[in-house]
Amino acid sequence: MRTAAEVLFFVSPALALFLLFVVWPIVKAAQFSLYRWRGFGPLSDFVGLQNYSTVLHDEVFRGAFSHNLFIVVGSIVLQLPLGLAVALLLNRRIRGQGLLRTIVFVPYVLAEVIAAVVWLQLLQPEYGAVDSLLSGVGVPVPDQGWLGSPDRALWTVLIVLTWKYLGLAVLLFLAGLQGVPQDVVEAAEIDGASWWQVQRWITVPLLGPTVRIWVFLSMIGSLQCFDMVWVLTGGGPANSTTTMATFLVNEGTKRHNYGIAAAASVILFVVALFFALAYQLLVLRRDTKGAAR
Amino acid sequence: MKRSPIIPALALVAASVGLAACGSDDSTSADGKTVVTWWHNSNNDPGKSYYEQVAQDFEADHPDVDIKVEAMQHEDMLTKLDAAFQSGDAPDVYMERGGGELAEHVDAGLTKDLSESSADIIGKLGGSVAGWQVDDKTYALPFSVGVVGFWYSKSMMAQAGVTTMPTTWDEMDDTIAQVKAAGMEPLSVGAGDKWPAAHYWYYFAVRECSQDVLTDAVTSLDFSDDCFLRAGQDLEHLVGEEPFNKGFLSTGAQDGPSSASGLLATGKVAMELQGHWEPGVMQGLTDDGLGLGDDLGWFPFPTVEGGEGDPTAALGGGDAWAVSEGAPDAAVDFVDYLLSDEVQQGFAERDMGLPTNPAATGSVKDPALAGLIKVRDAAPYVQLYFDTAFGQSVGGAMNDEIALLFADQASPEDIVSATQDAADAEK
């Protein structure tokens, strides 16, 4: 049995970092959110919960929240079937399997900002590769460009995000597929099950825990979505792609309303925490039931 | 069971916190020289290498001073300055844009009062320093003050058959129609960055509002005068003509060849409303480093019929060198040197901006910039960009709403009410 001091000794470095870089900023953000503060000078103008009320009544923030939900749902709806399909295909013995796996995974390895800059160039209206290609084959392109049209920009961002994060889904699903016992599959095959039937009734159900974990990661990532949106559109045009994170950065570093930005960040934190806990309780519980306490 | 002391664990915690808290005094370098850090935004040549040369020349005359120059892209610099002010570790010499921003910095005790130490230079600069004064004290020395206007490609305008540049908005409407009829895009605007779009509204307000109303609005934050509404209506009319480049809602201001400045520099649009820094920006955006070169022309913002503003009034602003409160005295000497006849002349010769030192105004080579200086010096007053004058919070709300009007999602009334709401929150 370990002594308390031993536990403390091994845990304290990680704990110190956690306190310094996670807990401390949260505490500071909560503190800033109660003041009207321009970013420098002393914290002196206490306003209570007024910043929270400002944020919650702000149409741009409400829009940002709904955009986040759109990305949460859209990412799962697009990436889950696509990821499953690609993973199942790549799990078969085919020529160039390693190469194909690498190609699917490369976008995920790329830094999000770099991917965003590349797509920003590709999506330039008129002169960008995407528009040239599409108009070359006679597909009409929007006048303002894909990122410049308020009704298309969020979809465009979602599609780029799907391109970027499909690799993670495929990788996790492929790993999950290794855990599907081969003897069950063989037994089914001997009973005359087709490839489709094996996937439908054996592989996919046994992949459940992996899928549920992936949904969790994807959801949290979508709620915090920032880099891609910031580089591609900066939240525009006409606030059609703002997320909670771009809202708070805009209020903070652009407008110097650090109190309001802090309130928005606390709200983002609470929303993400709520989603995480609810998902843990409702969905993940059966996967973690047997885990060590 | 042995209870081992808790000390090693605590020591570890203390050590890791100590690491983060560890700072160093950076006002003197290892060899005993006084270090002066200087941040500027001339991150393209010729400005970049000229400023390196300037720093070296100053070091040669002041062997005990070491100037640490950091050239950054404009938006990056603003972000870094904000962070530096928050952490209390601001550079010794940095750029101030005046107006509400400067007033906030002065309130927070971040900026040094230069009224006494730089009195000679301040006297020389005359009225230009007005934008950088708070309570009659001068906090920064403007090195470039310019006005906004239309930059255009002479060859493209000639191709469209435009021989005389428009002086009223009725003529401007015709010019836009003419350029469109010739199959070219008349204007580029970086509405993605919002402020270039906002300049249109500002300038319409300068044309529609009398000087008294504008001066009053800056201090009272009262936008109830009807002229602000008319400025929005003028802008709505312009946007309705669809004169802007494709994708203007997501176009950036001046970063890369696909930005609004890049489109003008590469001959994709005929005109752009932009500040006096435009030639310098465009030089960095073409492969040959020349921008439009001799093909570049400039004309002032046309007048609006029935407007209450002085037809020769201008919208503009500038950049000034400020010294942060804790900086060594050598930083003040360096700022004085930056405004000297010699440095300002070199600055003017390289078309880096519009010098404020009268000894250098004759050195501006670019004919377009020289014309712009005449407009600046002839203007009865130069209205500081509203977002700078009002500070980031009100200015930001204003710019956001103006950008929405460009996207056809806000009305002239919305601009006034959004600005008024943000202003009321300040009071």
Q: Which of B12, B391, B392 sits opposite A13 (nearest CB)?
A: B12
The answer to whether residue B2 sits within a structural domain is no
Whether residues B41 and B118 share a domain: the answer is yes
Q: Which of A16, A143, A255 sits opposite B393 (nearest CB)?
A: A255
- Domain finish residue from B343, B360, B378: B378
Whether residues B300 and B398 share a domain: the answer is yes
Residue B424 and residue B189: Cα distance in Å, rounded?
30
From the list B194, B176, B192, the residue with the least C-alpha distance to B184 is B176
pTM: 0.81
What are the structure tokens assigned to B315, written together? Answer: 């919208």
Q: Tell if the CB–CB gap between A13 and B110 is shorter than 8 Å.
A: no
Whether residues B272 and B308 share a domain: the answer is yes
Q: How many Cβ atoms are within 10 Å of A75's Cβ, its own excluded?
A: 22
Residue B263 and residue B271: Cα distance in Å, rounded?
9
Q: How many CA atoms lie within 13 A of A113 on its CB side?
A: 0
Parallel/antiparallel/unpaired status of strands B137-138 and B133-134: antiparallel
Please, what's the b/e burial string for B93-104 (b: 16 or more CB within 10 A of its CB; e: otherwise)? bbbbbbbbbbbb
Q: Tell if the CB–CB gap between B247 and A236 is shorter than 8 Å.
A: no
Residue A16 with chain B: CB contacts under 8 Å: 12-13, 16-17
Q: Across A48-57, A279-288, B80-89, B382-391, which has the greatest mean pLDDT?
A: A48-57
Q: Tell if the CB–CB gap between B110 and A40 is shorter than 8 Å.
A: yes
From the list A168, A144, A169, A159, the residue with the least C-alpha distance to A237 is A144
Whether residues B261 and B392 share a domain: the answer is yes
CATH of residue B62? 3.40.190.10
Is ipTM beyond 0.85? no
At A171 the pLDDT is 92
Crossing angle for the helix pair B47-61 and B329-338, nearest 10 degrees? 130
Residues β-bridged to residue B151: B272, B298
A16 touches chain B (CB under 8 A): yes
Give the domain range for residue B253: 147-315+384-426
Residue A143 with chain B: CB contacts under 8 Å: 246-247
Percent of chain A scored above 90 by pLDDT?
61
The answer to whether residue B38 sits within a structural domain is yes
The answer to whether residue B18 sits within a structural domain is no
Residue to test with chain B: of A10, A19, A35, A38, most B Cβ within 10 A: A38
What are the structure tokens assigned to A52, written together? Answer: 């929270």
At B27 the pLDDT is 62
Residues β-bridged to residue B269: B185
Q: What is the mean pLDDT of each run of 10 residues along chain B (427 residues)?
A: 42 42 51 89 86 92 92 87 86 91 87 90 82 87 92 95 94 96 95 94 96 86 93 96 92 87 93 90 84 90 93 91 92 92 89 86 83 86 88 90 93 95 84
A132 touches chain B (CB under 8 A): no
- The DSSP secondary-structure symbol of B111 reads B
At B135 the pLDDT is 83
Whether residues B190 and B295 share a domain: the answer is yes
Residue to test with chain A: of B184, B242, B250, B400, most A Cβ within 10 A: B250
Q: Tell if the CB–CB gap between A9 and B9 is shorter than 8 Å.
A: yes
Whether residues B260 and B346 share a domain: the answer is no
At A77 the pLDDT is 96
The answer to whether residue B164 sits within a structural domain is yes
Q: Which of A13, A38, A237 sits opposite B249 (nearest CB)?
A: A237
For residue A43, give the chain B residue with the closest CA.
B108
CB neighbours of B267 closer than 8 A, spacing ≥ 6? B153, B156, B292
Whether residues B292 and B411 share a domain: the answer is yes
Element (H, E) at B319: strand B314-323
| Ordered DSSP codes for B232-251 | HHHHHHHHHT--BPTTGGG-
At B55 the pLDDT is 93
Whether residues B178 and B300 share a domain: the answer is yes
Whether residues B406 and B297 share a domain: the answer is yes
Nearest chain A Cα distance for residue B407, angstroms: 6
Residue B85 with chain A: CB contacts under 8 Å: 39-40
Whether residues B177 and B235 share a domain: the answer is yes
Q: Tell if the CB–CB gap between B247 and A12 is shorter than 8 Å.
A: no
Whether residues B179 and B303 share a domain: the answer is yes
pLDDT digits (tens, 9 = 90+) for A113-172: 999 999 998 998 877 899 889 988 988 888 888 998 888 999 999 999 999 999 999 999
The answer to whether residue B127 sits within a structural domain is yes
Q: How many Cβ atoms are within 10 Å of A61's Cβ, its own excluded?
A: 23
